[in-house]
Amino acid sequence: MALRRIDVNAEWHPSGGPKGLFLFGDAVERMEALLGEYEGRIKLIYMDPPFMTGDRFFMRVRVGEEQWRRGKGSFVQQSFSDRLDRNGYLALMRRVLELSRRLLSDEGMIFVHLDYRAHPHVRLLMDEIFGEDNLLNEIVWVYQSGGRSLYHFSRKHDVILFYRKTERYDFNIDAVKAPRTQPRTSHMRRHVDPDGRVYRSIRSGGRVYTYYDDDPVAPTDVWQDLPHLQQRDPERTGYDAQKPLALLDRIVRCASREGDWVLDPFAGSGTTLEAARRNGRRFIGIDACPLTLNIARRRLAGADYGILLDGAAATEGAPVCKAGVRSGVGFYHLMLENFEIDIPNLPEGAQSMDCVDNWSAGYLRPEGYRVMAEFARNKREGALRRELAIPAYAGELALCVADVTGRSFYFALEP
């Protein structure tokens, strides 16, 4: 079977799940392009932009069956570089925040995740763009992971600036109430009711107030109950700066409702998008690092989503690919027979097919490449599945092979 390399700008993953988009490219350019369809329609924006750290960030990628089975990658790839100077950084953030305000609906809210370096500068920008009166919280997320400094107090918190767009914002505290983790140990009297439930009471101003220990409570603006991901956390994708799903779950649930649009313009490993998908929200993620495409294909499985590519950056290279097709009853069986591409510094012993991270088969349609079956290596199935079955429809068969550096190669199958 002859394969013809093709350019694809959109890859669609149809399913019955929540709708979404993953846009590969620059945040400002992509947000400007979103205005046409989404201005005033986004309910929640969360962003975890670079923090002006001056550092480079990496992803530890798993290559081949063995590394997937052990759950540990040894092929380290740069994911992004956080090296803009202050002026460049603030120019980027100003534009992203101005566009965010335009994209938000009047009921919408925005959460901007920062650390001690960027936070004071961005706070002033946000006061200017959103209005000081629209600041709802400066959330302090406290964690314990990492080492301890001997030269100053260890930095163990991030700041999340939380603004509304207008007074009509639709905040839902009930959605994030949780059981109290520690019983009240205050001056209140302790009682046990006939059902055995513990409650406390206090008299104040002639009234008696009672509080049950097992009543759910609303979080305050200090979040200490959501640990950072540990080194061996099963949630880890290998992407530096990945945030815990529980953190995004709280934000998504309190600031949006089922069916609402959620946007993350610095999506990284796609934590916000996964939280949105799990909670039945529609989502849009943007990122400029090609490695994020492979993570998105795993984390967004089950959603009805599209990946929009942007020119050649995630598709350049000259692979050798061989595939075959067999007709079954109502199905085509596509076999990935070989895939080779030059990748420097692959782990010792890696075979050519080990550089395949994920692949899919489907059809070329006017709107782009429509995926009908896909396989991404995972901990249970680290070996590359070589055959995919897709329903036999009319149309041009195609496949996509993505390598461990995040490049996606598309081919049309010619009879």
Ligand X SMILES: C[S@@+](CC[C@H](N)C(=O)[O-])C[C@H]1O[C@@H](n2cnc3c(N)ncnc32)[C@H](O)[C@@H]1O
| Site residues for ligand X per CB under 6 A | 26-27, 48-50, 79-80, 239, 241-243, 266, 268-269, 271, 286-289, 292
Give least dist CB 19 to ligand X, A: 21
CA angle 277–280–282, rounded 5-degree value: 70
Q: How far is the CB of 335 from ligand X (least distance, A)?
A: 34
Nearer to ligand X, 75 or 359 (CB): 75
- What three-state secondary structure class fits 27? helix
CB of 341 to ligand X, least distance (A): 22
In the complex with ligand X, which residue's Cβ is closer, 134 or 271? 271
Q: Which residue is nearest to ligand X (CB)?
A: 268
Q: What is the dihedral of CA 116, 118, 121, 125, to 10 degrees?
A: -120
Sign of CA dihedral 226, 46, 148, 238: positive
Which CB sits closer to ligand X, 107 or 274?
274
**Least distance in Å: CB of 121 to ligand X?**
16
Burial of 347 (C-beta count, 10 Å sphere; 0-12/13-18/19+): middle
Tokens describing residue 159? 């700041």
Of the pair 88, 324, the CB lying nearest ligand X is at 88
Query: What φ, ψ does residue 213 adopt, rounded to 5°?
Result: -60, -30
Q: How far is the CB of 44 from ligand X (least distance, A)?
A: 14
Query: What DSSP assignment string belongs to 211-255?
Result: EETTSEE---SEE-SSPPPPTT-TT--SBTTPPPHHHHHHHHHHH
Cα separation of 370 and 360, whole Å?
10
Kindly tell me which of 248 and 346 has the beta carbon lying closer to ligand X. Answer: 248
The residues near 144 (Cβ < 8 Å, ≥ 6 apart) are 156, 227, 228
Is the Cβ of residue 119 or residue 200 nearer to ligand X in the bound state?
119
In 275-349, which ranges are E strands? 282-287, 304-308, 320-327, 331-340
**Residue 168: partners with Cβ closer than 8 Å, 6 or more residues away:** 106, 107
CB of 270 to ligand X, least distance (A): 7
CB of 29 or CB of 215, closer to ligand X: 29
- Shortest CB 295 distance to ligand X, Å: 8
Under a CB-based contact definition with an 8 Å cutoff, are residues 347 and 63 in contact?
yes
Closest approach, Cβ 26 to ligand X, in A, equals: 4
**Residue with smaller CB distance to ligand X, 80 or 410:** 80
Name the CA dihedral angle for 234, 240, 246, 252, rounded to a multiple of 10 degrees.
-140
Closest CA to 409 of 265, 325, 330, 294: 294
- What percent helix, strand, coil does the chain show, rounded to 5? 20, 40, 40
State the nearest-atom distance from the C-beta of 261 to ligand X, in Å.
18
Whichever of 292 and 408 has its CB closer to ligand X, that residue is: 292
